[in-house]
Amino acid sequence: MKVIEPQVFHKIYEDVIQGEHVKVYQKYLREATGIYSDTTEVDLDTLLYTVYSYEAGSPEKTGDLYWGLTILEPVTVNEECNMTRGHFHLDQNCAEFYFGVSGTGLLLLMDKNGETWAEKITKGSLHHIDGQLAHRLINIGEEPLGVGACWPTTAGHDYGAIEEKPFRYRVFKRNKKIVFEESE
């Protein structure tokens, strides 16, 4: 019998995903100014987050899966906590798992009526995200927030719906305290 050496590693609490078919991209503030309430006098070259994704799967094949890791830097933008852009899935039958790897954060969730709530993320926490919910990660801690993910390759990303109808809450760090602000 042929036995193949592992081609990809994710030593979950020690390292990022490494190996074949692993893509990496970095998001800087200059590409994400629209999601923050105030970006005046903030360095647009600030690194917000890095995404690693193991994309051996096919986006055309129902039932196929991707594996990912997002690391959000512990930075704020005029006191607003660092966050991902957030998205709905284009195919709302597709759920997703997130899991906490390092740091402290919030998984912000929103249903199609705009109802918004959060789950706290800590090392080892596991989060099942229903396919109909928009989801965004927010770093509320003092160290990088690492969150792993597994999702169907056919899920797709709908960012436009979030731009039209944003999450109802913003999260700030003021005098070391986390403060929620309702947008409407």
Least distance between Fe ion and beta carbon 2 (Å): 35
| Shortest distance (Å) from residue 127 CB to Fe ion | 11
Nearest to 106 by CA among 64, 73, 135: 135
Question: Smallest distance from the beta carbon of 151 to Fe ion, in angstroms?
Answer: 5
Closest by Cα among 68, 74, 15, 23 to 48: 74
H-helix or E-strand containing 52? strand 47-54
Bridge partner list, 45: none
Which residues, at least 6 apart from 31, have a Cβ–Cβ distance to it below 8 Å?
none
Q: Are 27 and 34 in contact (CB under 8 A)?
A: no
Q: Using the minimum distance from each CB to Fe ion, give the nearer residue, 127 or 178.
A: 127
Closest to Fe ion by CB, 44 or 90 = 90
State the minimum distance, in angstroms, from the CB of residue 88 to Fe ion: 8
Binding site for Fe ion (CB under 5 A): 96
Q: Report yes or no: 80 and 165 within 8 Å, Cβ to Cβ.
A: no
Q: Which residue is nearest to Fe ion, using beta carbons?
A: 96
Pick 80 or 96: Cβ nearer Fe ion: 96
Nearer to Fe ion, 39 or 72 (CB): 72
